[in-house]
Chains A and B, each alone.
Chain A
Amino acid sequence: MNETPVEVRTDGDTRPPLLELAGVGHTFGHGPGRSGVRAVDDVSLTLGRGETVGLVGESGCGKSTLGRIATRLYRPTQGAVRFEGRDMTHRPDGTDLKAFRRAVQMVFQDPNSSLNPRLPVGASIEEPLRARRVPRADRRDRLARVLEEVGLDRTAAVRYPHEFSGGQRQRLALARALAPQPAVIVLDEPTSALDVSIQAQILNLLQDIQQQDRIAYLFISHNLGVVRHLSSRVAVMYLGSIVELAPSRRLFEAPQHPYSRALLSSVLEPGDSSGTGGRIELKGELPSPTDVPAGCPFSSRCWLADDRCRAERPALVEQAPGHLTACHKPGEAG
């Protein structure tokens, strides 16, 4: 859906990527004598201008933690977050960080978490502008603009969150993210709480906004259909690591990592009568993130795993242009 080519470092664009996660990781609850839970481990990912990168995986894979690292809601315990080439993690320049906070916005699954129930929604949407001391008249203009952009009437501004439906509230949360004119929006399961018919409205809206404003999206979802629809590139996460990263079409048509293949085979689609027939059955349960298997994190459930997989962690390497897989036996049947 993106006409603009994916910004890879080989296409002559010498600018640094818009947003770069360089070997980031986050360990919760570590300290003296405690190793903690490594929710994200050594993840590298770039996001180009106007691009949508999808982040998929099952509960506990670290995709939401990664989204929060990308917005610097969490400070990574390893690696660095760079915005237009400038480091935002280690003693960043104050004005740089301020610009970053404006330029990288986030929308969550539950829109109520970003709307104050006791304020008219207009006040909630203006809040990020007020924090940056934007003059009142400019704030009003911007409010009217973003409400129009998300398909709501400007009179909505004086109403309270409870007066809106779930789909309208998600539009409002999006308006709030758009108000400071961001370059990146991290969308964490933005349509998971919505009905299918309303989800389609929001997905179309996201596409329209991207085309108009050239905003980059980091789109986090467990719904593979939605991710395929919106993303130009997709990263599959398992137990805190990216196991496969590829252009959307390639990932869905020719997944290389055994986990990606198992995940895709489990998706049920309407009208597809093969049902659960072609499913790859995984053995065992998802290991706890406190107890990640040695070697390849997927080795405890992989039908291809051998001694090497259980001992040596595979690196994320490029198998084909733009298609990276962290597997000792990529694409192998079995």
Chain B
Amino acid sequence: MTAGAPTTAPAATAAGAGGRVLDTSGLRIGFGGSEVVSGVDLRVERGEVVGLIGESGCGKSSVALAAMGLLGPGASVGADRLEACGTDLLSSGPRALESLRGDRVAMVFQEPMTSLNPCMRIGAQVAEVLRIHGRANRQEARDRAVELLHAVEIPSPERRARQFPHELSGGMRQRVVIAIAMAGNPQLLLADEPTTALDVTVQAEILHLLRSLQQEHGMGMLLISHDLGVITAMCDRVQVMYAGQVVESGTTGQVLTAPRHPYTRALLAAVPRMRDADGGRLTAIRGQLTDDDRRRPGCRFASRCPSVAEACTAPQPLREVGAGRTSRCWREPEKETTTKGDGDE
């Protein structure tokens, strides 16, 4: 397949901002009375892998579901902007979202069995996507499905296409899910913990596959993970989330080797390393995230932060602390020279 934009998506390039395939600003998501995402800005360009790091309950998966228009009626979604491949997700109806999903925007979840139909042959599940989006007739779809299984490095794809999901290992199933995701030649791939259920050797293979598909097709990719090792291996840029907010962003190298927010620093210090000499104690983060933290007007990490101070009770905006780097902590000096603005004191 070619990396060129599919002809069915002329709006994608017309949407401007170069090859921006995901563009959200001020994204807020609530369930019932509680807000789980509080004003997240997130941009993914074509050909780039952006990582979203965070622990349970930080809202990272909700962000991905919102980007697919997959949050149910129980969720309230608001944003200044929420666009995927040039389509405004907030104003689009169900029809428009359906033609977007599985086509220009695709998603891979943690557990492949939740994405696969256990009663349907694998080849048919891949072909189905092509049929639904009107990309192929029955025979073409069948042939193309085998090609896609081959592209995700499934050995003897003709034979595998006739098998059912339960006949495959976990790693092979995830390859099938990736083949389904790639069927529409997407411009944006959302991968939510795609290797968390897999063993390390299989994880390494799947990540390698995702990276090479992403580069070959020039896709934009949003990779969501709690695993800082996975993020390091895969991402160009990262955003760290805590309690529904982005607390830090920058290039992967910057954020994971020279973190600027106390939460990122604490998270890195809490990881036991295989390559460390067997050492003393880990630096744990005290306490746990509570609902009160989310309602706090000041820094939401304050109750667990090792360097908490009086000033932390004031609202903390996301500050620009360097070129392309932000941190939501008052201790970080604001970048001295800003390109825009009046250049006042």
Taking Cβ atoms with an 8 Å cutoff, the residues of A that contact B are 1, 58-59, 165, 167, 195-201, 203-204, 207, 222-226, 228-232, 248-249, 252, 262-264, 266-273, 275-276, 279, 281-282, 285-286
Q: Which residue of B lies closest to A224 (CB)?
A: B274
Task: Answer yes or no: B90 CB below 8 A from chain A CBs.
Answer: no
Residues of A contacting B199 in the complex (Cβ-Cβ under 8 angstroms): 58-59, 222
Complex formed: what's the CA distance from A197 to B284 in Å? 6
A268–B230 contact, CB under 8 A?
yes
CB pair A279 B204 closer than 8 Å: yes
Distance from A200 Cβ to chain B, minimum over Cβ atoms (Å):
4
Interface contact B172-A228, CB-CB below 8 Å: no
Task: Give the nearest-CB partner of A247 in chain B.
Answer: B278
Chain A residue nearest in CB terms to B263: A197
Q: Would you give the shortest CB distance from A72 to chain B, in whole angstroms?
A: 28
Compute how far the CA of A129 lies from the CA of B227 in the bound complex, rounded to whole angstroms.
Answer: 39
Tell which of A165, A196, A275 touches B270, judged by Cβ atoms closer than 8 Å.
A196
Q: Is the CB of A225 within 8 A of B204?
A: no
Residues of A within 8 A of B229 (CB): 267-270, 272
Q: Is the CB of A1 within 8 A of B279?
A: yes
Task: Determine the distance from Cα of A223 to Cα of B270 in the docked complex, in whole angstroms.
Answer: 14
List the 8 closest A-B pairs by CB distance, nearest first. A268-B229, A270-B228, A275-B233, A197-B285, A229-B272, A200-B284, A58-B199, A200-B270
Are the C-beta atoms of B282 and A276 separated by less than 8 Å?
no
Contact A272 B55 (CB under 8 A): no
List the A side residues contacting B233 at CB < 8 Å: 268, 275-276
Taking residues whose C-beta sits less than 8 angstroms from the other chain, chain B's interface range is: 35 or more
Closest to B229 in A: A268
CB–CB A270/B271 < 8 A: yes
With an 8 A cutoff between CB atoms, is B5 at the interface? Answer: no
Residues B278 and A248 in contact, CB atoms below 8 Å apart: yes
A–B pairs, 7, beta carbons within 8 Å: A196-B226, A197-B288, A223-B272, A225-B276, A267-B229, A269-B275, A275-B232
CA distance A223 to B272 in the complex (A): 9
Q: Note all chain B residues with C-beta closer than 8 A to A197.
A: 55, 266-267, 270, 284-285, 288, 304
CB-nearest residue of chain A to B169: A285
Would A286 and B169 be within 8 Å (CB), given that A268-B227, A269-B232, A270-B231 are in contact?
A: yes
User: B7 in the interface, Cβ–Cβ < 8 Å?
Assistant: no
B253 within 8 Å of A (CB atoms): yes
Asked, given contacts A201-B284, A266-B201, whether A228 binds B266 with beta carbons under 8 Å apart, the answer is no
**What is the CB-to-nearest-CB distance from A153 to chain B, in angstroms, rounded to a whole number?**
14
A112–B242 alpha-carbon span in the complex (Å) = 26
Given contacts A58-B200, A249-B277, A263-B200, contact A203 B288 (CB under 8 A): no
Q: Report if A271-B204 is in contact (Cβ < 8 Å); known contacts: A200-B284, A225-B273.
A: no
Q: A222 contacts which chain B residues (CB < 8 A)?
A: 199-200
B residues within 8 A CB of A58?
A: 199-202
CB contacts under 8 Å to A, within B222-242, are: 226-234
**Which of B201, B226, B266, B278 interacts with A249 by CB under 8 Å?**
B278
Within 8 A of A (CB), among B184-206: 199-205
Q: Complex Cα distance A157/B15, Å?
A: 59
Residue of A nearest to B204 (CB): A266
Please, which residue of chain A has its CB at the minimum distance from the CB of B259?
A271
CB distance from B280 to the nearest CB of A (A): 7
> In whole angstroms, what is the CA distance A222 to B274 when docked?
12
* Chain B residues closer than 8 Å to A167, beta-carbon distance: 288
